[in-house]
Structure 1
Amino acid sequence: MIPALAPLFIADFEHYRDVLVLEDDPRPGVPLRTLSSAGYLGPLLTRFGARYHVPDLRGVASIWSKYYFIKLIPPVVAASLLLDRRLPLHLDHLQMVLDDEHLPVAFKLPHEGERWTPAPADPFQRFDALIEGHLRPLIDALAGYAGVSPRVLWSNAGNYFEWLLGVLAGAMPGADLKDGHALLNARTTPDGRRNPMYQPVRYMSVEGHSALKRQRRVCCVRYRVDDLPHCENCPLSASRRTGDAEARVISTVL
């Protein structure tokens, strides 16, 4: 555990205490820069995909990325929003710790980061190290090797980012989460590019239910592997149930 992040790891968040660690952690790590190499990424996805009878590479890459993002994004985003902590997240500076199933369980950082001084000018500056320094090169590598749409992988990342904001809002009603919401609600980045994290989920009314249904905007394509069932919040399932036009459009580009 990184001592500066200790205040985060309480109650339901305690199981993240050993996910972000420093380089002196005794567990063997793999430099994350190797993920840009097909010579490493190929065998990794092959070993991970061996658990499936029909390991479609696009589906395997997407499923693996979901395990990766659910480990990385919650503690990183919580550290930024709750502790105002700026962490060294560039892909070239980190190591990844894998378990026996070839899934990421921890990330070794070169140092414990620092508090933002002065405060970031906008949410894109706050999350630049995560998005541009880490997620973009990782997603480009996975998409380039496996042939899965980058939109699928960005949606996987955005899904967990948005989910975490809901968890934090429920656990700490007074927490300042505005930069997180601002990031997800911006159509474009400050330099005019499309924001890949824009509104990864939507909330829909469902007949006969008072609560809104949380639904992803882009399918994670896990159904390509062993005919796995669609996720509970899959837009393709919504298309079949309701005939929703937007969900049908989404399905045609995957």
Structure 2
Amino acid sequence: MIPALAPLFIAEFAHYRDVLVLNDDPREGIPLRTLLDPEIFDQVLDRFGAHYAEGDRRGLASIWTKYYFIKLIPPVVAASLVLGHRLPLHLERLQLVLDEQGMPQAFKLPDAGQRWASTPTDPFQRFEDLIEGHLRPFIDGVAGRVRVSPKVLWSNAGNYFEWLLGVLAAGVPHADLGHGHELLAAPTQPDGTRNPLYQPVRYVKVIGQHGLKRQRRVCCVRYLVGGLEYCENCPLPARERRLECALIKSAN
């Protein structure tokens, strides 16, 4: 555990205590630059996919990144928004701890980071290390290995980012989450390019149901893996799901 982050690891966040660690953690880690080597990544995905029948590698990779993002994003974003703590997140400097099934367990950081010397002026400055230093090279690397759309993987990351903001709003009402919401609400980045985390989730009215349904904007394609159904927040209507499955099967 990184001592400066200890105030975060209470109640439902307690299980994140040993997720962000330093290099003195005794668990074996693999450098993330090595993980994205085609041969090594294939081995990890094979280990992970051994528990799934007829696992299409695009679906397997998407599911695996979900486990990756749910480990990485909550403690990193909470550290920034709640504690004002900036962590060293550049992919080239981190190691990933995997369990025997190839599941992400922890990230070894080169140092403990530090509090922001001055408050970031906008969400892209605050989350630059996470987005440009880590998520972009990681997502580009995974997408290139298994030919899954980067939009699917960015959506996986954005889904957990949006979910976390709701958790923090309920559990830490005094926290200023403005930059988190601003990031997800911005269609473009400061340089004018598309913001890949723009509105990953929407809330829609469903006929016959009370309240609004939380729905992803982009499907995670987990249905490509044999034996798995669509997520509860899948954006694809039933007819589109059947058609997409038919097209995929005809192409294989």
Per the TM superposition, whether the score is higher than 0.5 is yes
Aligned sequence identity (%): 67
- CA–CA distance in 1 between the matches of 2:69 and 2:183? 17
Aligned with 2:238 (options 229, 236, 240)? 240
2:156 partner SS: helix
Q: TM-score of the superposition, structure 1-length normalised?
A: 0.93
The reply on whether 1:126 has 2:126 as its aligned counterpart is: yes
Give the corresponding residue for 1:44.
Answer: 44
Greater CA deviation, 82-91 or 227-236?
227-236
Alpha-carbon RMSD: 2.0
Is the 1:36–1:137 contact (alpha carbons within 8 Å) kept by the matching residues of 2?
no
Equivalences for 1:209-224 in 2 at 5 Å?
Answer: 209-224=209-224
2:53 partner SS: coil
2:96 partner SS: strand
- Please state how far the C-alpha of 1:211 moved relative to its aligned partner: 1.9
The reply on whether 1:17 has 2:35 as its aligned counterpart is: no
- CA–CA distance in 2 between the matches of 1:35 and 1:119? 34
- CA–CA distance in 2 between the matches of 1:79 and 1:144? 30
Partner deviation per Cα, 1:68-108 (whole Å, 9 max, x = no partner): 00000000000000000100000011111111111111001
- CA–CA distance in 1 between the matches of 2:143 and 2:85? 30
The reply on whether 1:154 has 2:154 as its aligned counterpart is: yes
2:71 partner SS: helix
Partner deviation per Cα, 1:196-219 (whole Å, 9 max, x = no partner): 000000001122333211000000
- CA–CA distance in 2 between the matches of 1:178 and 1:208? 33
For 2:151, the aligned partner's letter is R
Aligned residues: 247
Give the corresponding residue for 2:177.
Answer: 177
2:226 partner SS: coil
Give the corresponding residue for 2:196.
Answer: 196
Q: TM-score of the superposition, structure 2-length normalised?
A: 0.94
- CA–CA distance in 2 between the matches of 1:41 and 1:140? 13
Partner deviation per Cα, 1:215-242 (whole Å, 9 max, x = no partner): 0000000000004100000011xx228x
Give the corresponding residue for 2:29.
Answer: 29
1:54 partner SS: strand
For 2:82, the aligned partner's letter is L
Give the corresponding residue for 1:100.
Answer: 100
For 2:122, the aligned partner's letter is D
- CA–CA distance in 2 between the matches of 1:13 and 1:211? 27
